[in-house]
Amino acid sequence: MYLVQNLYDQYGKYLDLELIAGESGMHRSIKKPEVHRPGLSLAGYRKSLPTARILVFGKVEISYIRELDPTSRLDRLKTVLTSATPAVIIARYYRPPKELVMICQENGIPLFRASMSATTLLSKITFILLEEFSPSVTMHGTLVEVFGVGVLIQGESSVGKSEAALGLLERGHRLISDDVVKVKKREGSYLVGSGPELTRHLMEIRGIGIINVAHLYGAVCVRPDKGLDIVIKLEEWDDRHFYDRVGLEEKFCDILGISIPFHILPVKPGRDVVLLIETIALNHRLKDMGYHSAKEFNVKLLETIAKRQEKRVAAKR
């Protein structure tokens, strides 16, 4: 549940919010990632009145309210400000009508003022709420950027996820998060991974402890978030298990309803895991550009087989 208090604590300075009245309602929940300017509703059109949205009063709304007589002003404001209204924001530090302050104070609706224009407030708050309301999931693994590709390295404990990530950093790639990765679904079509603020830029290496990647390798080796493009699962080599040697069969895993390419990478002494992860990332980029090495090889193989069969048939004749 996202509260008005959460919005104020996290983005109050960014939005330049000043609380005027209704402090008792800071616990109100914001149920919709939408913001509304109540101009039409104030004018008396009450059909399909949107509720449960943060209301932004700009110059037009304030000017219109001031032109009404006190009785109509109170009636229109009571119509717009319902029990489901999370908060009200006055743009450009306009002085709010006393009736608006009274209603917000009596009903515990937080009333703010901001220095921005109503249009700017609408766009910024909408963006913030869409971000906060995005579906998310916390996953175990290490998220790195390899050749511009967001790679989530997963596997059992002590299989070598952090060590592989450390090797990638030495080759100039970047760390997003180690151990805990928060994945968010953006615009319903793609995923973005990030790490918690507490462990940002930090890695745990068994036998060494906690290290600060930004201090060791420089700020260019870290970034706060990255789109999640592929998932690689490290597992100990099992001679009884069949591992794909061609790559025709593509695997995917479902994360928040989106299919992400999935690779199983067996690990054993002598295998350069860092090099293999780089190769998977580069191959993924080639596939995005329309080049699929395994499929091209398969087409050539089938063509070669067909030609040999034609030669055999011709020789029999």
- Enter the tokens of residue 231: 């998932």
Please pick, among 31, 124, 179, 223, the residue that the annotation labels catalytic.
Answer: 179
Please pick, among 13, 240, 245, 317, the residue that the annotation labels catalytic.
Answer: 245
Please pick, among 36, 161, 263, 284, the residue that the annotation labels catalytic.
Answer: 161
**Residue 36 annotated as catalytic:** no
Please report, for residues 160, 174, 204, 283, 305, the alpha-carbon distance to residue 167 in angstroms, rounded to integers and kept in the order given.
11, 11, 14, 19, 42
CA dihedral of 4, 5, 11, 14, whole degrees rounded to 10: 90
**Residue 268 annotated as catalytic:** no
Place of tokens 């490290």: 234
**Residue 179 annotated as catalytic:** yes
For 228, phi and psi rounded to 5 degrees?
Answer: -90, 115
Beta strands in the chain (DSSP E): 18-21, 35-36, 54-57, 88-90, 111-113, 136-140, 142-146, 149-155, 174-177, 180-186, 190-194, 202-205, 209-212, 225-227, 230-236, 251-255, 258-267
Residues 6+ apart with CB under 8 A from 146: 168, 173, 277, 278, 281
**Residue 173 annotated as catalytic:** no
The Cα–Cα gap between 62 and 59 comes to 5
Please pick, among 140, 215, 251, 307, the residue that the annotation labels catalytic.
Answer: 140
The Cα–Cα gap between 56 and 112 comes to 9
- Enter the tokens of residue 238: 């099992």
Active-site amino acid positions: 140, 161, 179, 245
